[in-house]
Amino acid sequence: MKRRSLLSAALLPAFVHAQPQPRIVSVGGAVTETVFALGAQGQLAGVDTTSLFPVDATKLPQVGYARTLSAEGVLALKPQLLLASGEAGPPLVLAQLRSAGVRVEVLDDQHRFDGVLARTQRIGALCGREREAAQLVARLQQDWAARPKPPAGAPPRVLFVLAHAAGQLRVAGEGTSADAMLTLAGARNALAGVQGYKPLTAEAALQAAPDVVLCTTQGLDAQGGADGLLKAPGLALTPAGRARRVASMEALLLLGFGPRLPQAVAELTDRLHGRTA
């Protein structure tokens, strides 16, 4: 009986990898990043345009923008499984895919670290990569415990500006991934009390009175750097504008809540509290 148990244990890894590994279309940058982190990229038939990391994801067939999918574009890749972030849609297209026999799984991290862990485990189970998911979760927990803590003292007031398109600048209030990241990094959202994203106005910028203006690297580039961004309504007159305190991070790293979340929080904490440039 003991020898039989030992044999079963020895065969367990092979059995785990013998689980069905479906052909997948992944929609959502953090979802795709997690698939790669689990070593399941060979199962990917295609991705959406927000799947920018790692760079190999950008070489895969694309099904368009996450919020404006077409059933025809997805079905052309013959997936068995659609893994989608909570932003994927429209709902009618997801319903059409289900009717066509594609398993549709919508995954949301809820902008929390434990949500990232739960999504990682769920993706691992759906991809037939449970063991890899357990290993990744363990690494994430270690990295999370080791992240730098914010220094004591008053937290900086930070205004996040979404600036990917000229003339369409918006600022992030509560209930956004930017707000959640600011909290994790020990900062105060200068737009606290406002829900969601709102257009940037001079009045809003002056009332927010941020100590730091934060945006994505892509957004900062689109505005022509810090000089261009500070020409936006009201920003130059804020404490951040007068001190030229503008910080930026790569968009998916900063806002994605993917498997690089511990790294993202560590970097943001350092930038907002003046420990790095």
Per-residue pLDDT for 201 more than 50?
yes
Sign of CA dihedral 157, 163, 167, 170: negative
Residue 151's pLDDT band, with cuts at 50, 70 and 90, is: confident
Mean pLDDT of the 137-141 span: 98
Residues forming beta bridges with residue 248, ordered by sequence position: 215
- 113-131: pLDDT as tens digits: 999 999 999 999 999 999 9
Assign 164 a pLDDT band (cuts: 50, 70, 90): confident
> Predicted confidence band at 7 (pLDDT cuts at 50, 70, 90)?
very low
Buried b (16+ CB within 10 A) or exposed e, 189-219: bbbeebeebeebeeebbeebebbbbbbbebb
pLDDT of residue 275: 58
What is 17-146's CATH number, 3.40.50.1980, 3.40.630.30, 3.40.190.10, 3.90.79.10? 3.40.50.1980
What band does 274 get if pLDDT is binned at 50, 70 and 90?
confident
Q: Which of 114, 124, 117 is nearest to 83 (CA)?
A: 124
For residue 261, what are its two tokens?
């979340």
Instruction: Read off the pTM.
Output: 0.87
Q: What is the pLDDT of residue 31?
A: 97
8-12, 155-159, 273-277 — which is least confidently predicted? 8-12
Is residue 238 predicted with pLDDT exceeding 50? yes
Contact yes or no for 177/197 (Cβ under 8 A): no
More confident: 166 or 61: 61
Length of the chain: 277
CATH superfamily of 157-272: Nitrogenase molybdenum iron protein domain (3.40.50.1980)
Sign of the dihedral defined by the CA atoms of residues 127, 132, 138, 139, in that order: negative
Q: Answer whether 17-146 and 157-272 agree in fold.
A: yes
* Cα 78 from Cα 163, distance rounded (Å): 36
Q: Domain ranges for the chain, please list them.
A: 17-146, 157-272
The answer to whether residue 165 scores a pLDDT higher than 60 is: yes
Contacts of 174 (CB under 8 A, 6+ apart): 189, 191, 192, 193, 194, 195, 196
Could you give phi then psi for residue 18, rounded to 5 degrees? -85, -5
Residue 107 phi, psi (nearest 5): -120, 135
Stretch among 20-24, 56-60, 189-193 having the lowest mean pLDDT: 20-24
